[in-house]
Amino acid sequence: MGDIYLEMTIANLRDLEKQKEISFLVDTGATRAWIPKEIAEELEIEAVGEIPVELADGTIKELPYGHCIFDFGGEQAAGNVIIGPGGCEPLVGTHVLQDFRLIIDLEHHTISRGRAMRAK
């Protein structure tokens, strides 16, 4: 099985001119999106707090997070992004995937968009 990537733009919540298109690795086991600290610095996405996150190896680490705008296909959603260590791969987790009604088919390595968000 190969990895699935999602091309999406991320922007500074307070200054939408500071934006960047990024190829995010889709991680259906993650809840939040992650960007490396150098992208957060470039876009001036400031940490507003820290959150404990459980890493893939089971360890728990406190990492900073900030607020941003995600743009996919011209649709925008405000969200939180974890600011990971330098050089980490950008990841997109279930919160953003749900915000954009994206359906990940791991068997066929495809991404499709659902018609409507579930309200229940």
Give the CATH number of the domain where residue 48 resides: 2.40.70.10
Nearest 5°: the CA angle 105, 120, 65 is: 70
Q: Indicate the Cα dihedral angle 7, 42, 12, 83, nearest 10°.
A: 80
The confidence band for 114, taking pLDDT boundaries of 50, 70 and 90, is confident
Decide: 61 and 84 in contact? Cβ < 8 Å.
no
pLDDT tens column, 2-24: 799 999 999 999 999 999 999 99
Section 98-107 average pLDDT = 89
Please indicate, yes or no, if residue 120 is contained in any of the structural domains. no
Please indicate, yes or no, if residue 43 is contained in any of the structural domains. yes
pLDDT of residue 117: 67
Please indicate, yes or no, if residue 119 is contained in any of the structural domains. no
- Residue 1 scores a pLDDT above 60: no
Please indicate, yes or no, if residue 105 is contained in any of the structural domains. yes
Please indicate, yes or no, if residue 29 is contained in any of the structural domains. yes
pLDDT tens column, 52-92: 998 888 999 999 999 999 999 999 999 999 999 999 999 99
Please indicate, yes or no, if residue 118 is contained in any of the structural domains. no
Burial per residue of 22-48, b for 16 or more beta-carbon CB atoms within 10 angstroms, e otherwise: bebebbeebbbbbbbbebbeebebeee
Place of tokens 């495809």: 110
Domain coverage including residue 93: 5-113
pLDDT of residue 107: 85
Number of domains in the chain: 1
pLDDT of residue 45: 97
- Residue 118 scores a pLDDT above 70: no
Please indicate, yes or no, if residue 69 is contained in any of the structural domains. yes
